[in-house]
């Protein structure tokens, strides 16, 4: 079994774990579950930090790849297949390109997406599994 952390789930897990849902924490701590973080999240964190939309206390965007590895999580690249098949994900009212690519990665890999974002619910009909 595998799960993919949405960007806010990653930030909260590392910087404010009390904000995570109990089911999400249980899944992340399960030794039989492979926990992944998409490079999309690193890009989103870096971009929002540069724009002044994200404050990070005591950590810089540059630190996240090594922190994720040290936490024992896998880093999920954007593959050529992810990019080439992304057109298959219909627009269902959710327009954020970071979220949409993370959703597509979770669907195409049959991973559980750890996210609190209720806007993802429409994608359940396409096979998205969300847990919080």
Domain limits, the chain: 2-131
Cα distance between residue 76 and residue 26, in whole Å: 21
State the residue for tokens 């992304």.
86
Residue range 41-79, pLDDT digits in tens: 999 999 999 999 999 988 999 999 999 999 999 999 999
Cα distance between residue 56 and residue 53, in whole Å: 10
- Residues 114 and 27 sit within 8 Å (Cβ to Cβ): yes
User: Mean of the pLDDT values across residues 94-110?
Assistant: 93
Between the alpha carbon of residue 44 and those of residues 49, 66, 86, 122, the distances in Å are 8, 16, 18, 22
DSSP class of residue 76 equals: E
Over 90: is that where the pLDDT of 38 sits?
A: yes
- Topology of domain 2-131 in CATH is Rossmann fold (3.40.50)
Going across the sheet that includes 112-114, the strands are 74-76, 34-38, 2-5, 112-114, 129-131
Q: What's the pLDDT band for 118 if we cut at 50, 70, 90? A: confident
State which H helix or E strand residue 28 sits in. Answer: helix 22-29
Over 90: is that where the pLDDT of 94 sits?
A: no
Across the chain, mean pLDDT equals 95
Over 80: is that where the pLDDT of 2 sits?
A: yes
pTM as predicted:
0.94
Residue range 24-37, pLDDT digits in tens: 999 999 999 999 99
């Amino acid at each position: 079994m595998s799960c993919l952390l949405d960007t806010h789930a990653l930030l909260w897990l590392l910087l404010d774990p009390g904000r995570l849902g109990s089911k999400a924490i249980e899944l992340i701590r399960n030794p039989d579950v492979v926990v992944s973080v998409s490079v999309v999240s690193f890009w989103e964190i870096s971009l929002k930090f540069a724009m002044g939309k994200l404050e990070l206390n005591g950590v810089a965007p540059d630190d996240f790849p090594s922190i994720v590895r040290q936490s024992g999580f896998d880093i999920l690249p954007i593959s050529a297949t992810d990019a080439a098949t992304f057109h298959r994900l219909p627009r269902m009212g959710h327009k954020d390109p970071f979220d949409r690519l993370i959703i597509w990665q979770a669907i195409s890999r049959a991973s559980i997406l750890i996210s609190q974002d209720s806007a993802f619910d429409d994608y359940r009909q396409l096979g998205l599994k969300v847990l919080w």
